[in-house]
Structure 1
Amino acid sequence: MKTFAFAAVAAFAAFAQPAAAQHRIQPAPPPSAEDVRVIESASWLAGRWVGEGLGGELEETWAPPAGGQMVGHFRLVRDGVVVFYELCLLDVVDGGLRMRVKHVNPDFVGWEERDGWHAFDPVSVSEDALSFTGLTLRRTGEDAFEAVIAIRYADGVREETLRMRRAPM
Structure 2
Amino acid sequence: MKLLLLFFLSTTYFLQAQNTISFEEGMMSPAATINDIEWLAGHWKGEAFGGIAEEIWSPPADGSMMFSFRLLDKGEVSFYEFGHLIEKDATLILQLKHFDGNLSGWEEKDENIDFKLVKIEGNRFYFDDFTIERVSDKEINMYVEVSEEEGTSNEITFNYHRQ
TM-score (ref. length: structure 1): 0.74
For 1:105, give the aligned amino acid: D
Deviations 1:35-83 (A, max 9, x none): 9x71001110101000012222100000000010100000011122211
Aligned to 2:10: none
Q: What SS does the corresponding residue of 1:112 show, helix, strand or coil?
A: coil
Partner of 1:164: 160
The SS at the match of 1:41 is helix
Flag the structure with more relative contact order, 1 or 2, with Cα contacts below 8 A and sequence separation at least 6: 2
Q: Pairwise CA RMSD of aligned residues? A: 1.5
Residue 91 of structure 1 contacts residue 99 of structure 1 at CA under 8 Å; is this kept in 2? Answer: yes
TM-score of the superposition, structure 2-length normalised?
0.76
Corresponding residue SS for 2:33:
helix
Consecutive unaligned residues in structure 2, runs of 5 or more: 1-30
Greater Rg by CA: 1
Count of matched residue positions in the alignment of Structure 1 and Structure 2: 132
Structure 2: how far apart are the matches of 1:95 and 1:62? 21
- Contact between 1:97 and 1:125, CA under 8 Å: does it hold in 2? no
Indicate the SS of the match to 2:110: coil
> For 1:109-131, what per-residue CA distance to the aligned partner results, in whole angstroms no more than 9, with x for missing partners?
10111111011111123552221
Identity across the alignment (%): 33
Question: Contact 1:101/1:118 (CA < 8 Å) preserved in 2?
Answer: yes
Counterpart residue number, 2:36? 41
Amino acid in the other structure paired with 1:97:
L
CA–CA distance in structure 2, aligned partners of residues 105 and 43 of structure 1: 28
Q: Which runs of 4+ in 1 moved over 4 A?
A: none
